[in-house]
C-alpha cells in the first residue's frame, strides 16, 4: 500500500527524535519501489524520507546505508558533489524507512538537461568521472558486488535467458541483444566503481552545477557504461557528446572505444529487466507497460535501425535466441528453444544486509505529534527519462518548498 507524504512525515518523527515537520511534499523517486517525501521542519531545515514498498526495495535501502557509511569524510571531500547523510531510520514490520538530511539543488527532467548549456553537460560528465575514479576498496570492503568484464557479460547472458522464458520479448530484440552479448570484442573494458542507478532523478542541479548525487542503492564494481545508459536513451547526441567530453577530460583512465555501444545495450535491455521485475511482482500494469515499450523499441529499430551496438555485423537469418544461451552462442543448426514458464523471481536477488542504524529507533506513534499540512501540488517539472507509474503522478522535484504553517490547523 502506498504511503502518502503526510504519513511519511509521521514516520520521520519516529526515526529522528526532535524532528518537528511543518510542511511536506511528495518527492520524485522510483514509484514501483519507494514512496518518498520532502519535509521542512520548525527550524527551516529540510529532510528527505524514503519508504520501501517491498522487501527487495528495503534491502536496497539498507545496502545504501552501509554504502553511505563507507564514504569517509576524506573521500567525500574529494568529490565535486555532495552525498546524502542518513539521519535516522525506523522499521515498520519487515521494511525499513530512512530519513536523510536534504541536499541543495533540484532535479531536472531529461528534456531540461539536454536543452541546457553544455557547461552543465560537462559537469555531469565530471561527476560521472569522479564516481568511476573512486577507490575500488570502497566497494570490496563493504562486501558489495564486483564483476570482471567476462563475469558481467555472462551475467547479462543469464538475464537474457530469463527474459526469453517469458515469451514476451520481440524476437528481433532477442536476436539483437544476444548478438551484442556474444560479441566478445565489445566487452573489453576496465572495471571500475559504478553508481548503478544513475538517472535524472538522482542528480541535483543548481544553475550550471551538479550539487549532489543521490540513490546509492546499487553501488558495485562493473561496467562504467551502465551509468551512461540513461544518457544514451535520451537520443540527444550533442548532449551525450558533451557529457562524454567532460567525462574523458576528468577521468584518470581513458574510456574504452565501445563505452557508448554498451550503454545503448544497457538502455534497451533495461526494458526487459523491467518486464521480468513486473512479472515477479505480479503487477499486470507494470507488465503491460513493459510490453508496450518493448514493442515500440522493436518497431523503431525495424524502421530506423536503432543505436549501433555490436562491433561485428548482426546476422539477419536464424531463429531468435531463448533460454539456454551459452557463453559461446548457439551452434549451427541449433533447434528453437522451448519457452519455459514465467520465473517467480527477478534475475538478480538482493539479499538483505543487517543494518545497525546510526540513530536510536523508536516505535512509530499511532498519531504524529504535530499536524502537518500537505503542500499544494505544484510540481516544478515533469520527471523525464524514467518510466513513472500513474500512482506517482503527484511526485514533484526537489525545488524549494513553500512553508505552510501547520499550527493553523
In this structure, the answer to whether residues 142 and 91 fall within a common structural domain is: no
On whether residue 65 sits in a domain, the answer given is yes
In this structure, the answer to whether residues 63 and 159 fall within a common structural domain is: no
In this structure, the answer to whether residues 12 and 146 fall within a common structural domain is: no
In this structure, the answer to whether residues 253 and 120 fall within a common structural domain is: yes
In this structure, the answer to whether residues 59 and 187 fall within a common structural domain is: no
In this structure, the answer to whether residues 223 and 287 fall within a common structural domain is: yes
Where the chain has pLDDT below 70, the residues are 1, 315-409
Range of the domain at 42: 5-102+353-408
On whether residue 318 sits in a domain, the answer given is no
On whether residue 313 sits in a domain, the answer given is no
In this structure, the answer to whether residues 117 and 221 fall within a common structural domain is: yes
Max CA-CA distance within the chain? 76
In this structure, the answer to whether residues 189 and 280 fall within a common structural domain is: yes
Whether residue 214 contacts residue 245, with contact meaning beta carbons closer than 8 Å, is answered with: no
d(CA 72, CA 402): 34
In this structure, the answer to whether residues 160 and 226 fall within a common structural domain is: yes
On whether residue 333 sits in a domain, the answer given is no
In this structure, the answer to whether residues 95 and 123 fall within a common structural domain is: no
d(CA 131, CA 26): 28
CATH number at residue 380: 3.30.200.20
DSSP state of 226: G
- Number of domains composing the chain: 2
On whether residue 202 sits in a domain, the answer given is yes
On whether residue 130 sits in a domain, the answer given is yes
d(CA 92, CA 274): 27
**For the residues of 161-208, what is the DSSP string, one character each?**
HHHHHTS-S-HHHHHHHHHHHH-GGGG----EEE-SS-SGGGEEEETT
Comparing C-alpha atoms, which of 25, 24, 398, 407 is closest to residue 212?
A: 398
On whether residue 264 sits in a domain, the answer given is yes
In this structure, the answer to whether residues 158 and 277 fall within a common structural domain is: yes
CATH number at residue 287: 3.90.1200.10
On whether residue 194 sits in a domain, the answer given is yes
Is this prediction's pTM over 0.75? Answer: no
Q: At which of 280, 304, 328 does a domain end?
A: 304
d(CA 307, CA 294): 15
CB neighbours of residue 326 within 10 Å: 12
In this structure, the answer to whether residues 167 and 204 fall within a common structural domain is: yes
The pLDDT of residue 47 is 93
The pLDDT of residue 331 is 34
Comparing C-alpha atoms, which of 226, 87, 93 is closest to residue 155?
A: 226
The pLDDT of residue 316 is 61
Amino acid at each position: 500500500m502506498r504511503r502518502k507524504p503526510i504519513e511519511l512525515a509521521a514516520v520521520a518523527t519516529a526515526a529522528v527524535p526532535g524532528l518537528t515537520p511543518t510542511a511536506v511534499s511528495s518527492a520524485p523517486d522510483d514509484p514501483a519501489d519507494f514512496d518518498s517525501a520532502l519535509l521542512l521542519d520548525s527550524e527551516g531545515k529540510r529532510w528527505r524520507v524514503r519508504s520501501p514498498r517491498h522487501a527487495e526495495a528495503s534491502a536496497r535501502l539498507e545496502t545504501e546505508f552501509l554504502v553511505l557509511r563507507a564514504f569517509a569524510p576524506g573521500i567525500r571531500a574529494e568529490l565535486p558533489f555532495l552525498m546524502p547523510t542518513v539521519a535516522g531510520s525506523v522499521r515498520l514490520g519487515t521494511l525499513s524507512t530512512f530519513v536523510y538530511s536534504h541536499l541543495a539543488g533540484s532535479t531536472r527532467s531529461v528534456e531540461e538537461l539536454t536543452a541546457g548549456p553544455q557547461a552543465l553537460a560537462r559537469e555531469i560528465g565530471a561527476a560521472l568521472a569522479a564516481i568511476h575514479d573512486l577507490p575500488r576498496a570502497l566497494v570490496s570492503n563493504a562486501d558489495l558486488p564486483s564483476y570482471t568484464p567476462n563475469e558481467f557479460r555472462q551475467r547479462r547472458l543469464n538475464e537474457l535467458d530469463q527474459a526469453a522464458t517469458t515469451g514476451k520479448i520481440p524476437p528481433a530484440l532477442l536476436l539483437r541483444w544476444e548478438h551484442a552479448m556474444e560479441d566478445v570484442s565489445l566487452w573489453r573494458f576496465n572495471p571500475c566503481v559504478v553508481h548503478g542507478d544513475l538517472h535524472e532523478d538522482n542528480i541535483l542541479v543548481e544553475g550550471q552545477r551538479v550539487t549532489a548525487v543521490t540513490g546509492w542503492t546499487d553501488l558495485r564494481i562493473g561496467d562504467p557504461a551502465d551509468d551512461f545508459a540513461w544518457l544514451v536513451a535520451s537520443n540527444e547526441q550533442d548532449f551525450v557528446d558533451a557529457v562524454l567530453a567532460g567525462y574523458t577530460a576528468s577521468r584518470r583512465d581513458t574510456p574504452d572505444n565501445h563505452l557508448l555501444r554498451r550503454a545503448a545495450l544497457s538502455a534497451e535491455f533495461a526494458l526487459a529487466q523491467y518486464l521480468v521485475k513486473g512479472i515477479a511482482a505480479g503487477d499486470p500494469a507494470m507488465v503491460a507497460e513493459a510490453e508496450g515499450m518493448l514493442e515500440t523499441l522493436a518497431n523503431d529499430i525495424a524502421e530506423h535501425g536503432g543505436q549501433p551496438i555490436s562491433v561485428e555485423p548482426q546476422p539477419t537469418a536464424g531463429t531468435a535466441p531463448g533460454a539456454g544461451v551459452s557463453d559461446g552462442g548457439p551452434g549451427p543448426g541449433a533447434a528453437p528453444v522451448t519457452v519455459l514458464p514465467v520465473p517467480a523471481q527477478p534475475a538478480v536477488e538482493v539479499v538483505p544486509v543487517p543494518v545497525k542504524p546510526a540513530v536510536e529507533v523508536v516505535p512509530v506513534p499511532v498519531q504524529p505529534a504535530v499536524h502537518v499540512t500537505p503542500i499544494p501540488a505544484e510540481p516544478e517539472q515533469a520527471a523525464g527519462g524514467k518510466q513513472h507509474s500513474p500512482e506517482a503522478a503527484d511526485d514533484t522535484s526537489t525545488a524549494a518548498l513553500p512553508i505552510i504553517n501547520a499550527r493553523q490547523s
